[in-house]
Amino acid sequence: MPSLAGIATQDKGPAILIIIIIATSLSTAFAAARLFVRGKLLGRLHLDEYLIAVSVIVSWVAVAFQILAIQNGNGKHIQVLTYEQQKAIRKWTMLGFTPFLLSFTIPKLATVTLLTQLLAPTRTHRIFLWFLSIFCIINMIPTVVTLFLECPHDIPKNMDLKCIPISSKMYYDIYSGGFSAFVDLYLALYPAIILSKIRLSLYKKISLSAALGFGFISAIVATYKCTRLTLMESPDFTYDLSDVVIWTSVEGNTIIIAACIPVLKPLVDLFRGKFDPSLNSRRHNYRGFYSRSRSTPKVNVNLGRINVKKQQPPTLSFDGNIAITRAESRETMLGLSEHRLQEPKLGQIRRTDVVVVEDEDEYEDEDEQGHKFEA
């Protein structure tokens, strides 16, 4: 067993601080880029942007609480800490875990918002996606409550106290963390499965799947974090639980980054000199304007622009924003028949339309239903 003098030099506090600040700063940069794209380049912010902003704020609140815990000795062995230090560490750590949990549950709502607008799932599937994200948040409520009701580590297990045993809380936290990892994995694989059914080049399938499925990394982080939750029963919790603090922060910030990546293409185009403000200003940012019916052909998506041939239902365009137009014939739009297209009689008014066709990109792919997918 190492001597007290030996363990007194062991301190994970600086490592905790450096990692969580770097991770939170990265997610903040991606969130700022997303807000710039939506607010500045495309001219409008929507609900998911505000959800991302809230997620970043609570991440920094969690960092502030961890700084206070580290100032009181969190990251050091419990043997070298006073009772007052242990009490302060417990308080600030518990307060810090609440915003940490929000930091990786709120972005799931933003991700579902994007996927439902972008991939236009059926009504049943859309409800299922919202159920997963909302139920994940509900799962975290007992986790937060039990933080303040768990038995202290220095209380013997055979004592009859009105508190929740640490082992019971540990098992529930492993379950809730595992469910969160499952949701991240599902939201990451769902776009890849949809894109695999589209006749696109392999490069486009891989690039789109990677952009929309970056949450897969968050699922891996969440899974690994669950394996570290067994340290909750450790008597030396101020030292051993530092791993849980680090991986909880990394999980939350990873899912924030994953929610931002799919909408940053206009920023990339801006740096490459290919961003067209006039083109994007004519498009509406994505909203719930597209719903698929049984008779409507399946509309697939790209991070570029998607056009549908004449007489097809809606076209979907996604350059960090999504726009819907109708590609119907003039006769269909105006409801005119052949005999109405004759010369008007005296006193009548003829309605005419000017149609402008734009060739936006050079390279296109096309699926079996005639949808064109542009890079």
Mean of the per-residue pLDDT values of the chain: 75
State the pLDDT at residue 117. 84
Instruction: Count CA atoms within 13 Å of residue 177 on its CB side.
Output: 25
Tokens of 167: 């082992």
Is residue 358 domain-resident?
no
Is residue 305 domain-resident?
no
Distance set, CA 363 to CA 201, 352, 357 (Å):
11, 33, 17
Backbone CA torsion sign across 292, 216, 33, 303: negative
Residue 30: CATH number of its domain:
1.20.1070
Is residue 253 domain-resident?
yes
Q: Which domain range does residue 34 map to? A: 10-152+163-276
Could you report the per-residue pLDDT of 361-372, keeping only the tens digit for each? Answer: 433 444 444 444
Q: Count of residues for the chain? A: 375
Is residue 39 domain-resident?
yes
Tokens of 308: 């549908």
Could you report the per-residue pLDDT of 81-91, keeping only the tens digit for each? Answer: 888 888 898 88
Is residue 331 domain-resident?
no
How many structural domains comprise the chain?
1
Is residue 217 domain-resident?
yes
Is residue 284 domain-resident?
no
Is residue 94 domain-resident?
yes
Residue 319 has pLDDT above 70, yes or no: no
Tokens of 349: 């008014």
State the pLDDT at residue 5. 65
Q: Please give the DSSP secondary-structure letter assigned to residue 347.
A: T
